[in-house]
Amino acid sequence: MLSNKSLWTAMRLACCTSTSLAALIALGTAVRADDDGQHGTTTTPIKHVITIIGENRSFDHVFGLYKPRHGETVSNLLSKQILNEDGTPGPRFATARQFQVAPQPTYYVGAGAAAKTPFITLPPPDLAGTPTAPSTTAPPFPNVAFVAAIEPALESADLVLLTTGASGLASQVGIDSRVTHASTLPNGPFQLTGPTLPYDAYTGDTIHRFYQMWQQSDCRAANATRDNPSGCLNDLYPFVAISFSTSDNGVGNSMAVYNVNRGDAPFLRQLADQYTMSDNFHQSVMGGTGANHVMLGTGDMVFFSDGAGNPTVPPANQIANPNPQGLNNLYTLDGRWTNCSDTGQPGVGPLASYLHALELSTNCQSGHFYMINNTNPGFLPNGALATGTRVPPSNLRTIGDALNEKNISWAYYGGAFNAAVNLANGSQNPLDAVGVAYCPICNPFQYVTSIMGNAAQRAAHIKDVVDLFTAIGNGSLPAVSFVKPDGLLDGHPATSKLDLFEAMVKDILDRLHANPQLEAETAVFIAFDEAGGYWDSSDLQPLDFFGDGPRIPFIVVSPFSRGGHIVHTYYDHVSVLKFIERNWRLKPLTARSRDNLPNPKPGDHDSYIPRNSPAIGDLFDMFSFGRGDDGQGDDDQGG
């Protein structure tokens, strides 16, 4: 029998027919949706968008060794000659070296060269929460029958994945001896998998928080060049993990990469080969899950308030202070909130100064304390007000509000949501224990009163993944869907595996494929919330105080995105909002939301960083709709 308490403790808080295709290419004209009027009038043949969000993987971590089809190019570890095809160090391996920094008096975003020395060997990867053996209280579980009773979101053949992958080692902490040469790795990225660490293995987590990720990125305006306009060197990843806290924070795990040439991530590779992938899609916010999901739903950051939209000051013991408290870089208080309008606040000044040197705004409103690290929303899954440490109910405007105003159908489908509601209602049913795997911080709509504080809105729009399966099967899929796997399947290191996320994506795509008419007019966006602390070799584009951050994988599956194409346009999570807004002719959400940013204009020298920065694309060039409808060079904001 599952134990709610023990599983809660174990979990982190946290293709198409040619006839269908031909029938849908109504070029140069708007496409009228279904007769029920709930799908709206679209500017493309796409009537349904499904965004599936996995957890904590950077682009290079998954696709660093990917080889595109002939005629396509990709920016990754292989193309940059950092790693060879077999995962060994390449000719330019030294460009990925990681450094440690001498003690500094205050928090810094970028460290001067004189203060830095390279590691001789990489700090070893560690287990960092990796499960040691099957258990009835946390994955992997003892047998398929046990799994089948609690997990409805996998095809039956894939249920076995929830019973495999334990380390077999004696402890959940310490050096991960399954990694080849774990204690003597060269200083740079390394292949995670090998003879004693298969792809189907649980592996250790690594730190991914706001001030830490900015610091790991090592950004200085003085370092800015034509090739690297941000001046970010991305060379302090293991050091920050070791130094900001005395806890185990992943050490060298951040430099681990999979090898798609040797069978890793096979389904994601298959989709990249068959459809369209971006090699320039970035997490919107430095740090972790909560803030990036909020940005995906709102194009903005949530702030501490009185519950009625008025900014107030959070408890002092929750306000971040990343200044060192004595030991080298040991943060004084790794908090949840920061008032980035006040450059006198700890940590704010160095980051604001860096942005000012690049002639960028912080986009921080006076007196507002913004959520920078994971904090539970103000509502429970059943709509009741939460207590304790949480984000007070927010009046932040969401894409759901905008869709409601135009009578366009939408839903957020959360894995294990129904069980989570039952738990919030006091259920003692052991089968509802899986409800602790529902992710409240992943649901941007659970933070806001307009949706979660309204019983009718909750019932209409906040649903379980099993409801998505029903909607696909009977053709009642909303125009816009956000899908979040539960914590068993989301691909998060230590508590899940990437192959489990692949399996759930495959389940959704197989169900969609069984409904050819629906498949022919649907685009599936496969994304991740953030890089999870994994290193990435790309340049990033600073937009404001909050990000952007490293690249994450992003693939579009649709009849109009076939061919193994790789798009280099600069995107982040808000690009999903921009696509929805342009496709359904919606205005940007608010005057300050990031969906106001223009579409990128490729630089004369570098197609990856826009010459009109700050700018983010609307995803239209991930598709080939035909004449006049490909979105190339179009700054239309959908208004």
* pLDDT tens track for 30-63: 333 333 456 779 999 999 999 999 999 999 999 9
Widest pairwise Cα distance in the chain: 68
Tokens for 44, please give them: 């493309």
**Amino acid 260: pLDDT:** 96
Express each pLDDT in 558-613 by its tens digit.
999 999 999 999 999 999 999 999 999 999 999 999 999 999 998 766 679 899 99
Express each pLDDT in 272-289 by its tens digit.
999 999 999 999 999 999
**Amino acid 70: pLDDT:** 87
Express each pLDDT in 98-154 by its tens digit.
999 999 999 999 999 999 999 999 999 999 999 999 999 899 999 999 999 989 999
Residues 261-278 have a mean pLDDT of 97
**Amino acid 326: pLDDT:** 85
Gyration radius (Cα) of the chain, Å: 23
Least confident range from 194-198, 228-232, 291-295: namely 228-232
**Amino acid 276: pLDDT:** 97
Question: Which has more confidence, 401 or 228?
Answer: 401
Q: How many CA atoms lie within 13 A of 439 on its CB side?
A: 32
Query: What is the number of residues in the chain?
Result: 639
Question: Which has more confidence, 513 or 638?
Answer: 513
Express each pLDDT in 446-499 by its tens digit.
999 999 999 999 999 999 999 999 999 999 999 999 999 999 999 999 999 999
Q: Which of 506, 509, 510, 503 is nearest to 489 (CA)?
A: 503
**Amino acid 605: pLDDT:** 67
Question: Which has more confidence, 635 or 88?
Answer: 88
**Mean pLDDT rounded to a whole number for the chain:** 91
Give kind and range of the element (H or E) at residue 214.
helix 210-217
Q: Which of 582, 568, 574, 586 is nearest to 546 (CA)?
A: 574
- Please state the φ and ψ torsions of residue 554, each to the nearest 5 degrees: -155, 120
Tokens for 566, please give them: 């790789």
Question: Which has more confidence, 603 or 624?
Answer: 624
**Amino acid 630: pLDDT:** 42
**Amino acid 460: pLDDT:** 97
Name every residue whose Cβ is closer than 8 Å to that of residue 160 and which is 6 or more positions away in sequence.
144, 147
Distance CA 90, CA 348 (A): 38
pTM score of the predicted model: 0.92
- Taking the alpha carbons at both ends of the chain, their separation in whole angstroms is 53
What region, left, alpha or beta, does residue 604 occupy, with left being phi > 0 and alpha being psi -120 to 50 degrees?
A: alpha
The confidence band for 634, taking pLDDT boundaries of 50, 70 and 90, is very low
**Amino acid 134: pLDDT:** 95
Residues 280-303 have a mean pLDDT of 97
Distance CA 200, CA 179 (A): 14
**Amino acid 11: pLDDT:** 40
Least confident range from 159-173, 307-321, 444-458, 595-609: namely 595-609
**Amino acid 574: pLDDT:** 98
Residues 27-31 have a mean pLDDT of 33
| Bridge pairing between strands 410-414 and 480-484 | parallel
User: In the chain, pLDDT over 70 holds for what percent of residues?
Assistant: 91
The confidence band for 28, taking pLDDT boundaries of 50, 70 and 90, is very low
Burial of residue 292 (number of CB atoms within 10 Å: 0-12, 13-18, 19+): buried
Tokens for 230, please give them: 């941000």
For every residue of 431-460, DSSP letters joined together read GGGGGGGS-GGG-GGGGBHHHHT-HHHHHH
Give kind and range of the element (H or E) at residue 566.
strand 565-567
**Amino acid 587: pLDDT:** 96
Q: Which residues of 300-314 are buried (b: 16+ CB within 10 A; e: fewer)?
A: bbbbbbeeeeebeeb
Residue 25: is its pLDDT beyond 70? no
CB 28 within 8 A of CB 41: no
Name every residue whose Cβ is closer than 8 Å to that of residue 70 and which is 6 or more positions away in sequence.
none
**Amino acid 38: pLDDT:** 63
| Three-state secondary structure call for residue 387 | coil
Distance CA 265, CA 64 (A): 12
Tokens for 139, please give them: 């994955």
CB 501 within 8 A of CB 55: yes
Residues 526-555 have a mean pLDDT of 96
CB 379 within 8 A of CB 452: yes
